[in-house]
Structure 1
């Protein structure tokens, strides 16, 4: 096992600074977009080590571009460089972590959260009943309702729950619930959940109204905020203070950053004590640490998406496996077994059955 110094981490009790970036971000568009996976990477490298990493990538897989990206090492002709980057002789093993989100499942889970009243914007306190219903819908919805009706349902509620910042939803609640009225008559568990959703119309209306009223509320369907929270949980294990340097994101306004910092000041949370001391936004091309995080996130998203869709490359999937967060939002059992080593920790298992949530913030 690597020592903390070997892993690029400060001694116990000292703050750790991580650099983060994402791949696959399309805001709150989780259905019908360009990507089906969202990946968020955090790296613990100093500026010199990160610059050396980027320099070595350019030597191994040359490109004249100003900012080196994941796409360069993902080219088949540069496979050896990708294997080096992720492999045991590369510079990031033990110094990088990736949180993966299956976007379709994330959308489904936000719908089932409405049925249980558990609206955790941080994604650290998962409600057991909501998770069980989300898994049922994710696994059975397409078959039970048919691909066209299932996709129409996901798209409708994706649009409905995106209402925020004084802007109304792109679809009326009446139109969305017309689909629910049709699906609730389907025999089986998926239809029963739709019946519950039909009865929960007042909860949905109240939720969308709150999104419209609060201009600084976290976007309900953007996986970025939960991913940052999980990064803090991983790198700040045991209550270590964490400072984040992140690529610029329109989602991360000053008000939301401050709200996130306050929410993560949790001395006795179910997933353990968490402390976010600060979050600074930078342009990725100006900070080699963030550039490395960007490359890692892009590589992870591509490998994970291929695995999810049954086109996985066993060697690359195996190389990615040590980097993937156990708490990734990834319900597909086959691809999860390939991508994610081990089972969620007891702390996270306990969090799933924990008491009241922190609520949407």
Structure 2
């Protein structure tokens, strides 16, 4: 870890020992630091509470490959074109609602092909409900299969199992039971279950009921595998709340998603430096975990990320001091508005921005399909 990641806690609004390192107050520059700077911000974060909250079906992570010295004139251009007086350019404060269409047209032009942000911006979408289903397979079925010497991750069996369960689950089980399967999974696996109010039996009783009532083969097969993982569920509950617990992060999508995003940008640009908005889940410990994987010191939680990723700095900062983070906020906010529109939410911002945003959606994001173009269309949901 280099000297800049050991800076004292300034340049961020987060205080305390969990945020004592990895802070950067000074502007990032294109020439002073080796590698490209990438700014990252999110919209729609709920921690590990992934089910049952309205208007939060998706998490959008916006990234812009840009340093502060490059971002500053773009932010000023936006401020001038939109007549913004606020100290910070924020999507939620200036680009939402029915009256801000002219401002959104400025942003859409910048994000569209030929725009100043087009070829350096990316939107990584996470469908939180699909993420839950993926974790059902990842934490329990894959764990058992691995013990028995079978690799269902790299052979793509795990993903296909999760996609089948997610796509056909509502029809095979009925929306109420499928929703209860998701909500019970969250209640069981979330960090707040440290007091074990939701027991292994509580969790597996719902799995058993779902398996009994399933009417479709893919769902029945996935649940048949899951119902044999009671031992793995017991081990998870024991390990997730111990003194060295990392599995308590299992339902926190922002952590593995950030690791994946680093890999995606590094494969495109080579060495990258990441500046993250000062988000509370991005503690020093969690950033250490992400860096360990990117540098090849692998942790099992991030097994899927390939080695050979070239990560330089991994720091956090405040958007008040970093114009690059203000641009990342605009990209993440635009992505979230478009995702809400896709989920059937009335959203003027999504209507105005989807044509510019959809081509920026990372096909490697955590969606239940490989076609980001589908996000351009509102989609009826069986569960929500």
Relative to the length of structure 2, the TM-score reads 0.75
Residue 318 (structure 1) aligned with residue 352 (structure 2): no
Q: In structure 1, what is the equivalent of residue 49 of structure 2?
A: 29
The alpha carbon displacement at 1:73 in A equals 2.1
Q: In structure 1, what is the equivalent of residue 143 of structure 2?
A: 117
Measured against aligned partners, the alpha-carbon deviations of 1:142-172 in whole angstroms (never above 9, x if no partner) come to 11111111111100101111137x9335522
Q: In structure 2, what is the equivalent of residue 228 of structure 1?
A: 258
The alpha carbon displacement at 1:242 in A equals 1.9
The alpha carbon displacement at 1:68 in A equals 2.4
Q: In structure 2, what is the equivalent of residue 182 of structure 1?
A: 209
Three-state SS of the structure 2 residue aligned to 1:259 is helix
Q: In structure 2, what is the equivalent of residue 143 of structure 1?
A: 171
Three-state SS of the structure 1 residue aligned to 2:39 is strand
Aligned length: 325
Pick from 288, 291, 294 the counterpart of residue 329 of structure 2. Answer: 294
2:294/2:307 contact within 8 Å kept: no
The alpha carbon displacement at 1:325 in A equals 1.2
Cα distance change of structure 1 residues 198 and 118 upon mapping to structure 2, 3 Å threshold: closer
Pick from 87, 100, 104 the counterpart of residue 78 of structure 1. Answer: 100
The alpha carbon displacement at 1:180 in A equals 1.4
Q: In structure 2, what is the equivalent of residue 329 of structure 1?
A: 366
Relative to the length of structure 1, the TM-score reads 0.80
How far apart are the structure 2 equivalents of 1:258 and 1:82?
34
How far apart are the structure 1 equivalents of 2:154 and 2:340?
24
The alpha carbon displacement at 1:286 in A equals 2.0
The alpha carbon displacement at 1:176 in A equals 1.8
Measured against aligned partners, the alpha-carbon deviations of 1:173-199 in whole angstroms (never above 9, x if no partner) come to 222222112111123221332232121
Task: Specify every segment of 5 or more residues in structure 2 that has no aligned partner in the other structure, as ranges.
Answer: 1-28, 147-152, 299-303, 377-384
Q: In structure 1, what is the equivalent of residue 182 of structure 2?
A: 154
How far apart are the structure 2 equivalents of 1:319 and 1:210?
44
How far apart are the structure 2 equivalents of 1:16 and 1:119?
40
What is the RMSD of the two structures over their aligned residues, measured on CA atoms?
3.1
The alpha carbon displacement at 1:55 in A equals 2.3
2:239/2:245 contact within 8 Å kept: no
